[in-house]
């Protein structure tokens, strides 16, 4: 009888310790996230739409728009991390210290955290069951020393399963989500799921980006619609969410991604780079409108406030 009672007590003690550790992680997460002004998740209903490439170049576009050294990217795709490769950081390791884990530094001082930094080699898979993934995500979010940031872009795993759900629920005061799609009808169907997913979590949909929309000839500048286009704008109108813009197909985007150099840095005058800059301004306007309780103000006011306070 005493042996059973002792075993029960030890079991309760372990449960209490786990619960206490979880609460401590939540408090650390809240404290670290409180130093980040805007938190934006980038999601897609399916894989293969260029979500990570959009995330990286969107972050770079914000940095070039007047927020240098104030941008972070969390590559939250535990099993398929690729942001470090796109940022030229593949093979780097995260530094740790008494406060926690310090992000790697990418182009324009952008802070980056990814599971890729913890893997021994690029061939190493992450073979984890769901609960272990969730624990890793929780630790990622609570132990990273981001410092003060103007924007944190969170590159979520594709779909609307456990991983994106857990991350969205863990991060306090999320400003909203940007949904990336491509012109195909199949992609439009899953966009509806992504919008419904966000609305059920009461997280605003900042807008939809249509990636791989048309092809702009690098020689003459003529645009050719290789695939059906306009699906992103139509689905945005149907669902009553903002349409942020279209990113045309550009072979240089693929080449720069393979080379680990964000496209928008190397080709700032391209049609695609201009599209990213336009999207930045629309996101700024959305955030400003949200801050002012639905009343829109100058598109540059976020940057102006930063310059005044910084």
CATH number, domain of 249, equals: 3.40.50.300
Residue 172 pLDDT more than 50? yes
State the pLDDT at residue 305.
Answer: 44
Residue 309 pLDDT more than 50? no
Residue 193 pLDDT more than 70? yes
* Residues of the domain holding 168: 35-309
Return the sign of the alpha-carbon dihedral for residues 292, 295, 299, 304: negative
Q: 8 lies in a domain?
A: no
Q: 248 lies in a domain?
A: yes
Residue 50 pLDDT more than 80? yes
Q: 7 lies in a domain?
A: no
Segment 98-124, tens digit of pLDDT? 888 999 999 999 999 998 887 766 666
Structural domain count, the chain = 1
Q: 15 lies in a domain?
A: no
Q: 303 lies in a domain?
A: yes
* Burial degree of 155 (CB within 10 A; 0-12, 13-18, 19+): buried
Q: What is the pTM of this model?
A: 0.86
Tell me the C-alpha distance between 39 and 9, whole Å. 42
Segment 118-155, tens digit of pLDDT? 776 666 666 666 677 777 777 777 889 999 999 999 99
Reported in sequence order, the residue ranges of the chain that DSSP labels E, i.e. its strands, are 36-43, 71-75, 95-97, 100-102, 104-105, 111-114, 149-155, 176-181, 205-216, 223-224, 243-249
For the chain, give me the number of helices (H) and strands (E)? Answer: 11, 11
**How big is the CA angle at 121 (ends 117 and 123), to the nearest 5 degrees?**
120
Q: 122 lies in a domain?
A: yes
Q: 11 lies in a domain?
A: no
* DSSP per-residue letters across 257-303: HHHT--HHHHTTTSHHHHHHHHHHHHHHHHHHHHHTTT----TTHHH
Q: What is the mean pLDDT of the chain?
A: 84
**In this structure, what are the phi and psi dihedrals at residue 40, rounded to the nearest 5 degrees?**
-125, 125
Q: 9 lies in a domain?
A: no
């Amino acid at each position: 009888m005493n042996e059973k009672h002792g075993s029960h007590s030890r079991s309760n003690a372990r449960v209490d310790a786990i619960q206490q550790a979880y609460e401590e992680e939540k408090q650390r997460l809240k404290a670290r996230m409180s130093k980040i002004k805007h938190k934006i998740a980038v999601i897609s209903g399916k894989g293969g739409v260029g979500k990570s490439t959009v995330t990286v170049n969107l972050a770079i576009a914000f940095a070039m728009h007047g927020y240098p050294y104030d941008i972070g990217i969390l590559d939250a795709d535990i099993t398929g991390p690729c942001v470090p490769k796109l940022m030229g950081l593949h093979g780097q390791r995260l530094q740790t210290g008494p406060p926690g884990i310090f992000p790697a530094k990418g182009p324009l001082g952008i802070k980056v955290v990814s599971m890729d930094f913890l893997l021994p080699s690029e061939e190493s898979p992450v073979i984890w069951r769901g609960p272990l993934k969730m624990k890793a995500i929780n630790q990622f979010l609570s132990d990273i020393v981001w410092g003060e940031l103007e924007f944190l872009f969170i590159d979520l795993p594709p779909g609307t399963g456990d991983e994106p759900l857990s991350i969205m629920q863990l991060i306090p005061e999320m400003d909203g989500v940007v949904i990336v799609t491509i012109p195909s009808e199949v992609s439009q169907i899953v966009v509806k799921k992504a919008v419904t997913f966000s609305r059920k979590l009461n997280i605003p949909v900042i807008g939809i980006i249509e990636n791989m929309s048309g092809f702009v000839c690098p020689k003459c500048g003529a645009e050719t619609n290789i695939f059906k286009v306009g699906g992103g704008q139509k689905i945005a109108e149907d669902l009553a969410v903002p349409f942020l813009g279209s990113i045309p197909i550009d072979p240089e985007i693929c080449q720069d991604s393979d080379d680990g150099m964000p496209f928008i840095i190397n080709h700032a005058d391209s049609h695609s780079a201009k599209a990213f800059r336009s999207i930045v301004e629309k996101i700024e306007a959305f955030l400003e409108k949200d801050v002012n309780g639905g009343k829109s103000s100058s598109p540059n006011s976020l940057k102006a406030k930063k310059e005044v306070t910084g």
